[in-house]
């Protein structure tokens, strides 16, 4: 049933985004005095419609759910002879170039406003997120050599405050894509000291990251991961578990392996995996009692490598959480900033794709979007609304690209009209439309190919 949930979440998402986008065109067209003939959700054959209002605008649902449109009184489509003389002042082409620019730009602007609204609601409500506490285990990583240690909390990146792991990752990605060093403000708990906290700065170089690493888990390449709970608790034993045979029990907390204190579940797994058929001495907390248990992990082949296994299930490693919350004005400011940053980052990514600096594999299509829509809708309403905000921004940016047949292409034509004082000749517009359709079909083909490749892999 997961595919059905994904499909429903995707259709709801698309319905919201298309409605908002097209309503932006519709409402500004009405403000500018243009007559709107049809408002359609979906493309192709109309399967349901109802006429409303003084102008008897047809509100329609069409067969293909991918997209929508607003059909205005336009001599280029209906023909000048078919328009009544008294309605000519309300024809789209009769409007000033600035009104036409406003009508066309209103769709993408509506998507940006939707994202700002959703983010504002989320920030006012409060968004639970993992804290920006890092896991640095290996002394060979860039992060460790720069001075970062397990459990350090990042409070700012390049003088910009971060309150959560997602904000930290976002600011690090911006710095990495720009090829800049990341100056981190770090807060560290000092064991055994009553003062408790030590604050300092660390400069983390990202210059060595190549394009492929930036497209993947680039934080892991730097040696940075999200820190989780330090507790290693046994929850369940699988059949023939050497841990059960050694006397371990459900609820035992493992503190040390071979007299080395454990950082977290990952640290314990790595120690077990690296010691197939070798005796390990575990220090275990059982209630108020501490005891030592010797256990020998059995060897098992995993992806062509021999690893040690204890055949136990551990309590999931949960990160320390915080709630990102703000007043209405603060939330509005954060929302505008987040929408702007995301838009600029999207444009930079597109630019890098055009120059070949970033792989075209980053182009995603409806299958990937449907998958994420389903995942976020199953997680929580907060996650789903945040997902809609991100896709709304992407839709707004995409439609502003100067590609004929998109809103940005029409804005390009009207901008040339402002500069030259006369509309672009019809033959040039027609040539541009053909090129735009070809480019969009190519992008759609790449997106579908990438979607299918992800599903197969």
Q: Which residues are catalytic?
A: 22
Task: In whole angstroms, give the CA distance from residue 92 to residue 72.
Answer: 7
Q: What is the DSSP string of 161-183?
A: E--SHHHHHHHHHHHHHTTPPEE
d(CA 208, CA 222): 10
Q: How many Cα atoms within 13 Å fall on the side-chain side of residue 35?
A: 19
Cα dist. 97→91, 358, 402, 414 in Å? Answer: 13, 37, 17, 6
Spatial contact of 152 and 133, defined as CB atoms under 8 Å apart? yes
Which of 60, 63, 44 is CA-nearest to residue 52?
Answer: 60
Q: Report how far residue 204's alpha carbon sits from residue 222's, in angstroms, rounded to the nearest whole number.
A: 9
* Phi (first) and psi of residue 242, to 5 degrees: -65, -25
Q: What is the DSSP letter of 251?
A: T
Q: How far is CA 306 from the centre of its chain?
A: 36
Q: How many CB atoms neighbour CB 392 within 10 A?
A: 27
CA–CA distance, 264 with 244 (Å, rounded to integer) = 21
Measured CA to CA, the distance from residue 370 to residue 447 in angstroms comes to 13
Tell the burial category of 363 from Cβ atoms under 10 Å away from its Cβ (0-12, 13-18, 19+).
buried
Kind and range of the H or E run holding 226: strand 225-226
Hey, which residues does 113 pair with through a beta bridge? none
- Paired tokens of 150: 């397990």
Q: What one-character DSSP code corresponds to residue 314?
A: E
Cβ atoms of 446 and 454 closer than 8 Å: no
Q: Nearest 5°: CA angle at 224, between 222 and 227?
A: 170
């Amino acid at each position: 049933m997961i595919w059905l949930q994904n499909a429903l979440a995707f259709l709801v998402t698309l319905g919201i985004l298309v409605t908002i986008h097209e309503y932006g065109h519709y409402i500004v067209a009405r403000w500018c005095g243009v007559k709107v003939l049809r408002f359609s959700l979906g493309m192709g054959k109309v399967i349901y419609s109802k006429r409303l209002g003084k102008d008897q605008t047809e509100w329609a649902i069409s067969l293909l759910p991918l997209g929508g449109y607003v059909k205005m009184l336009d001599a280029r489509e209906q023909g000048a002879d078919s328009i009544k003389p008294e309605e000519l002042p309300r024809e789209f082409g009769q409007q000033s170039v600035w009104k036409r620019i406003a009508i066309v730009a209103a769709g993408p602007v509506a998507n940006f406003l939707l994202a700002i609204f959703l983010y504002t609601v989320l920030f006012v409500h409060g968004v639970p997120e993992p804290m920006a506490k890092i896991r640095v285990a290996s002394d060979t990583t860039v992060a460790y050599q720069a001075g970062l240690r397990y459990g350090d909390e990042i409070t700012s990146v390049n003088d910009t405050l971060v309150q959560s792991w997602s904000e930290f990752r976002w600011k690090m990605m911006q710095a990495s894509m720009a090829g800049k060093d990341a100056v981190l403000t770090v807060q560290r708990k000092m064991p055994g000291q009553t003062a408790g906290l030590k604050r300092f700065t660390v400069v983390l170089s990202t210059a060595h990251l190549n394009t492929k690493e930036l497209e993947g888990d680039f934080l892991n390449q730097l040696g940075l991961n999200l820190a989780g709970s330090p507790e290693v608790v046994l929850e369940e034993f699988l059949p023939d578990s050497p841990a059960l045979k050694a006397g371990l029990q459900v609820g035992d907390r493992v503190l040390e392996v071979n007299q080395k204190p454990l950082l977290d579940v990952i640290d314990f797994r790595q120690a077990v995996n690296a010691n197939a058929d070798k005796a390990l001495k575990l220090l275990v907390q059982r209630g108020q009692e501490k005891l030592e248990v010797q256990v020998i992990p059995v060897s098992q082949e995993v992806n062509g490598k021999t690893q040690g296994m204890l055949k136990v299930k551990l309590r999931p490693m949960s990160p320390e959480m915080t709630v990102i919350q703000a007043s209405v004005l603060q939330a509005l400011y954060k929302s505008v900033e987040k929408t702007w940053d995301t838009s600029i980052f999207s444009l930079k990514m597109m630019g890098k794709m055009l120059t070949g600096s970033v792989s075209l594999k980053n182009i995603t299509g409806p299958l990937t979007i449907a998958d994420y829509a389903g995942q976020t809708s199953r997680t929580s309403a907060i996650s789903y609304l945040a997902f809609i905000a991100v896709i709304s921004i992407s839709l707004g940016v995409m439609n502003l690209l100067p590609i004929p047949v998109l809103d940005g292409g029409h804005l390009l034509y009207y901008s040339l009209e402002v500069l030259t004082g006369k509309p672009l000749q019809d033959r040039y517009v027609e040539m541009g439309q053909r090129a735009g359709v070809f480019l969009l079909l190519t992008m759609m083909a790449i997106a579908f190919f990438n979607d299918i490749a992800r599903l197969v892999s």
